[in-house]
Amino acid sequence: MIKQYRFSLIGLALLISGIANVTFNQIAQGQGRDLIPRSVLFGNPDRASVRISPDGKHISYLAPRNGLLNVWVQSLGQDDAKPITNSTTRPIRNYFWMHNNKQIIYAQDSGGDENFHLYAVDIQTGDQKDLTPFEEIRARVVATDRNFPDEILVGINNRNPQYHDVWRINTSTGESQLVYENNVFIGVIADSNFQIRAGIRYTSDGGKIVETRDSSTDSWYELVRWSRNDSITSSLMGFTRDNNTIYLLDSRNADTAQLYQYTTGEDGSYERIAGNEIADLSMLEMDPATGRPQAVGYEYKRRQWEILDDSIQEDWDYLTQLRDADMSIISRTEDDKTWIVAYLRDDGPVEYHLYDRQAKQATYLFSNRAALEGYSLAKMKPVVIKARDGLKLVSYLTTPLNGKSTNLPMVLLVHGGPWARDSWGYNPLHQWLANRGYAVLSVNFRGSTGFGKHFVNAGDREWARAMHDDLIDAVLWAVDEKIADPDRVAIMGGSYGGYATLVGLTFTPDFFAAGVDIVGPSDVKTLLESFPPYWEPIISLFETRVGALSEPEYLASISPINRIDAISRPLLIGQGKNDPRVTEEQSQMIVDAMQAKGLPVTYVLFPDEGHGFANPANRLAFFAVTEVFLAQHLGGEAEPLSDTITKSSAQIMAGADLIEGLGIISDD
């Protein structure tokens, strides 16, 4: 029976399920270890998403204002930083400069519903306007160009929720004009004249077709057709600024994605530009004046770059020698004389530098988290693990700094997607867990991207099957290497990683000691049925690679909800109520089913979140609960809760086994 409790952490409604099968052990409060506060790891960064204005007179970044990330602007070389936005309910996470140097555009949704609107804000006055004032729409940027400093092309699905028409909007006046009605493409590309010249669409068998036209008045024709075998590793990139060349990533003639260029016109040619044998081409550095590639990047274990344009070789040589870290150019002025450069390492915060190309001089600006500089952080080690069928799984291992290195409790972190990947570099989850005494392992299982089409296609129709076997094989590797204690391994992840967690506790119920599921689907059938309408044009991607609604028995066979009886280990679930991808129903179904069978489950619901926890107070609250949960079931250390949870919107249903650890005092 569910009971309502009030307790010492005022303001948090806690529902106690009365389920308990584990006796709470006293959590070590930092004994023998300098615990890094969760607020340092998961709170707001000091500065992030650093940009320089096209004219080079200002820099901008995201920084906290009233506890949430907002856009700040300061004059270059001056100490006059000021916030120009005042979002009070959701952090701003994406923004860019208009070419007029007077405005910044940012995207914002409501409560995590992903119905993003675009807003223009004046950097001097702070005046802002909603450029996409339609109800129940999702806006996306199609193009900006220096030829049109006061205008932007925006995709809006207000006519048909499945497809985004293209609107031309004046960001100063707000005036808009429909310029392309789209009934076919999942995405379109404009040239530098703001003409819609190329588009990409999925076929019913999971393939993709790129179509193009020579002008906005000419007929469309097929440029490239990719079968399902190449559809994930191949994509449309964009035009050169002279509008005569289109760039594409294409894996038809290799296992990995290669860069090709198509020259338009009657004598059009299709030519390979660059590629790597073991990793997909995944990064492009383009000349802002010409739109031609100057450097291309690949990532197997770590990033590596290939220079295509000799004019930046000297700059590159200087910048890459400046720090022992992975360097990337993140912003450039219109005249290309000034760059913002970021340095990523695994054991410290991201550093930002201002680079003067003429003087060949880089000046340190700041790091994204100054507080981290006061702590010693663990190194992340790339390892390649062989799956049972010989497939090579690029993985990343972090172990506690200056502590025990064998027979450790371990957390297996599973990335989302699943068509995504884990990478080397600073990872707050790795640092947090290693600091609490855990080994941490992230695995690029089959189906992950970046490793070629054979690797990604090996994950087709392998949810809860070979994809899960890869995770099991990686844990067994860690056990064989004496890194992990086989009796103290938890599985944790978000989105697909949350699904993998549920699979771990239902398909291999005795393998993991506990699981942490963040916005993970429990029923694949209802997942496919509940996708937002603008995902409909890509439904064949899921039908061919995961499973189709026309085969309900197969979908049932890979859905954890149908194996609830097998669960024997504790489960923690985090969910955003407004999630449009993995809806609240996905978590509620498994919570209800587990409660009905008396199985241990802890449920944290955030009424103001979507697919993940953007609000820092909510993020800190969830990881506080997670820390207590893991400490209880794996034996690691935990930072005291203080008032972390009361500052969030969390609604928690906890098993009795977690009550003592959360510091609850019932007055029932």
- pLDDT on residue 380: 98
pLDDT digits (tens, 9 = 90+) for 528-576: 999 999 999 999 999 999 999 999 999 999 999 999 999 999 999 999 9
Q: What percent of the chain has pLDDT over 90?
A: 88
How far is it, in rounded angstroms, from Cα 142 to Cα 140?
Answer: 6
How far is it, in rounded angstroms, from Cα 188 to Cα 541?
Answer: 18
Hey, what are 265's tokens? 């016109």
Active site residue 448: no
pLDDT digits (tens, 9 = 90+) for 182-202: 999 999 999 999 999 999 999
Judged against a pLDDT cut of 90, whether residue 133 lies above it is answered with: yes
How far is it, in rounded angstroms, from Cα 438 to Cα 105?
Answer: 41
Residue of 17, 611, 633, 648 marked active site: 611
Hey, what are 595's tokens? 């409660």
- pLDDT on residue 651: 92
Where does residue 209 rank: exposed (0-12), middle (13-18), buried (19+ CB within 10 A)? middle
Where does residue 292 rank: exposed (0-12), middle (13-18), buried (19+ CB within 10 A)? middle
Judged against a pLDDT cut of 50, whether residue 17 lies above it is answered with: no
Strands 651-654 and 601-606, bridge-based pairing: antiparallel
Judged against a pLDDT cut of 50, whether residue 2 lies above it is answered with: no
Which DSSP string corresponds to 554-579?
Answer: HHHHT-GGGGGGG--S-EEEEEETT-
CB 432 within 8 A of CB 637: no
Hey, what are 213's tokens? 């036209």
Mean pLDDT confidence for 110-114: 95
- pLDDT on residue 656: 58
- pLDDT on residue 646: 84
Strands 514-518 and 571-576, bridge-based pairing: parallel
How far is it, in rounded angstroms, from Cα 410 to Cα 575?
Answer: 24
Residue of 448, 495, 522, 540 marked active site: 495
Judged against a pLDDT cut of 80, whether residue 10 lies above it is answered with: no
pLDDT digits (tens, 9 = 90+) for 344-381: 999 999 999 999 999 999 999 999 999 999 999 999 99
468, HSE (Cβ side, Cα atoms, 13 Å):
24
- pLDDT on residue 404: 84
Whole-model pTM: value is 0.94
Mean pLDDT, the chain, rounded, equals 92
Judged against a pLDDT cut of 70, whether residue 106 lies above it is answered with: yes
pLDDT digits (tens, 9 = 90+) for 402-447: 878 899 999 999 999 999 999 999 999 999 999 999 999 999 999 9
Active site residue 530: no
Where does residue 265 rank: exposed (0-12), middle (13-18), buried (19+ CB within 10 A)? exposed
- pLDDT on residue 647: 86
Confidence band for 8, pLDDT divided at 50, 70 and 90: very low
Residue of 579, 587, 633, 657 marked active site: 579
Which residue carries 């502590």 as its tokens?
Answer: 403
pLDDT digits (tens, 9 = 90+) for 293-350: 999 999 999 999 999 999 999 999 999 999 999 999 999 999 999 999 999 999 999 9
Active site residue 99: no
Hey, what are 608's tokens? 């103001």
Judged against a pLDDT cut of 90, whether residue 482 lies above it is answered with: yes
Which DSSP string corresponds to 40-99?
Answer: HHHS--SSEEEEE-TTSSEEEEEEEETTEEEEEEEETTSS--EE----SSS---EEEE-T
Return all residues near 654 (Cβ < 8 A) that are at least 6 apart: 14, 15, 16, 17, 602, 603, 662, 664
Confidence band for 660, pLDDT divided at 50, 70 and 90: low
How crowded is residue 488: how many other Cβ atoms within 10 Å of its Cβ? 21
For residues 598 and 473, which has the higher predicted lDDT (pLDDT)? 473
Confidence band for 653, pLDDT divided at 50, 70 and 90: confident
Judged against a pLDDT cut of 60, whether residue 3 lies above it is answered with: no
pLDDT digits (tens, 9 = 90+) for 569-580: 999 999 999 999
